[in-house]
Chain A
Amino acid sequence: MEALLQPIINGVLLGGLYAVIALGMSIIFGIVKLVNLAHGDLMILSSYLSLVLVSWLGVSPLVSLFMIVPVMFFVGFFVQGVLLNRVLGKEMEPPLLVAFGLSVILQNILLLVFTPDARSLMSNLAVKTIPLGETLTLPVLSLVNFFGGFIVILAVYLLFRNTYLGRAIRAASDDEMSTRLMGVNTKRIYAHAMGIAMMTAAVAGVLVGMTFTFYPHTGPQFLIISFGVIIIGGLGSMKGCLAGGLILALAQTLGAHFIGTGYQLLFGYGVLLVVLGIRPQGLFGKI
């Protein structure tokens, strides 16, 4: 029983991290109806930004968040305001191309600046564990990931529920035309939404950088994880994001436990296809 408990604990904790990775993409899909294929790369960009701050100032990666989160807001605002807003329309392909183009550009700039070496954000959290019983342990870093993710999701939820900007964002996502008639500049609202999404991506990037190693081409891996999470949970739903993160992460850790680590991702996607087969719109998705 204890042997099974460890992958379950790891899965739940990893689920929180997966949820925050996917959150930004889910927000943008729900509001702008856009699949941001550069999400993973923008997230890795913030991992690298944090790396720069950590090595320059010698601060902890978590402290570097105070600078990276605002910077990423402006990055998101710029990406949406200058690039993506111009190609939004009836067809789906031009925004996809712009996002893919952005992803390719980011990857190669990171490659030129930081070389293809694997990096990670060092902190003293990585080695600490809390023992629970004889064989069970609770890595402190995973706990930080889980609660970090939870706090971010809660913050975004409260922001959307209680502020004018949040109401405007939700209105624009429900009915763009009526919102414009009410005097809201929806394009500007979209840019704000992307800014918020990138703030969550900044947190995700730093947490990912502390947990895994990363290199300039890691972005798409996390993009696919985000896909998995929001497809299981339902595109554009925050509840779904959390549920999807937990399900995907549990499927992976349990898959690794029963079949072998090589197949853990494969097992995760298998669960994903089963969910899609039963409920094509995801657990909490609207059609």
Chain B
Amino acid sequence: MDLKNAMLKYRWLILVLFFVALVTVPIWGPDYILLFCLFFCLYLALAQMWNLLVGFSGLLSLGQQAFIGFSGYTVAVLTDYYSVNIWISVIIGGFLSVLLALVMSLFIFRMKGIYFAIGTWIFAEMLLLWFSNWKYVKYGTGMFIKPEPPPCMTTIYYSSLIMAIGGLVLLYFILRSKIGLGLMAMRDDEEVSETIGIELFRSKLFCFLVAAFMTGLTAGVLYIFQIYIQPYRAFGIDWTIILLFIVVIGGIGTVEGPIVGAFVYVLLSQWLGEYASISLLLTGIIAITIILVAPKGIMGTIHEKTGFVILSPRRT
């Protein structure tokens, strides 16, 4: 109990230390730590948005790769064909993702639960097929993103950090707002919450669009770093598998969960990066083991056992 109180007392301190460490990495960290933090931030931002959809709004999306690929291609096309400034094209990529989400919502918001999940996946798969047959984006061979002038590593890192912190802050404020309360009521019992006057459709759509926007922005930054985009990777289901891994391992429906999950995932993938297939094999085995031992994920289980929570979505 004392430990819990101490933790509660110092929870802001923990957060601030964590934040300061991430901000100053380019100053003190060697290259591989910077790279680690870059991937950590990008995956955290993507996973946090997936968490917003699945963990808090009850929208099981298996199609986040649609936004990742779409926004990545937007950046590639704008910088390559039209020489648009790289950061402006990232922002345009974010807004085009929102537009894509609006178009998707026309079809898939009629479905529920697992139908919704499969609908989003099939939408992403259709985009994959379309882009791999489209001459304008050079079919399946992919495109190179050639920004002029090329941004330096520190700039890319700070923009990824902005995505991670931005995603976290956005999630926190959405959850603490009236919409957040409504969302959680909706996730726990849809019919009852609709009866007491929560606008289901609007709240869900709002979250879907917000998640699409942040996912699009983050993917833009990711592809600036990766330089090369190719439809089979960009629209691949692997993205969603990674997000599912990060969020469920960390603890679904908790704000801190994806932070822990992203750390574990990036650690594993970097550590075992040389042996790609063994790394994936181990990732699969670890995912299954953790979920069998602690079905609520790492942070979810810690929260349940000790009541320790850093960023509570509940108002106190």
Contacts and interface: CB of A to CB of B under 8 A. Distances in A.
Interface stretch (A60-68, A102-110, A133-141, A192-200): A102-110
B93 interface: no
Contacts of A277: 107, 110
A103 B294 CA distance: 20
B237 interface: yes
Interface in B19-68: 54, 60
B126 A266 contact: yes
B133 interface: yes
Contacts of A220: 237
Contacts of B277: 108, 111-112
A98 interface: yes
Interface string B229-264: 000000001000100110110001000000000000
Interface of chain B: mostly helix, strand, loop or mixed: helix
A100 B126 CA distance: 21
A227 B285 contact: no
Interface string B113-130: 111011101100110011
A214 to B, nearest CB: 17
B60 A273 contact: no
Given A98-B291, A105-B284, A273-B107, A262 B122 contact: no
Interface residues of A, number: 42
Nearest to A269: B126
Contacts of A86: 292
A80 to B, nearest CB: 14
Contacts of A112: 277-278, 281
Contact of A235 (B114, B283, B291): B114
A94 interface: yes
A252 to B, nearest CB: 11
Contact of A276 (B107, B241, B285): B107
A281 to B, nearest CB: 8
Contacts of B110: 276-277, 280
B129 A87 contact: no
B278 A272 contact: no
Contacts of B287: 97-98, 100-101, 104
A94 B115 contact: no
Contacts of A151: none
Contacts of B268: none
> When A and B form their complex, which 9 residue pairs have the shortest distance between CB atoms, in order from nearest?
A104-B284, A105-B284, A101-B284, A108-B281, A101-B287, A262-B133, A101-B288, A266-B129, A108-B277
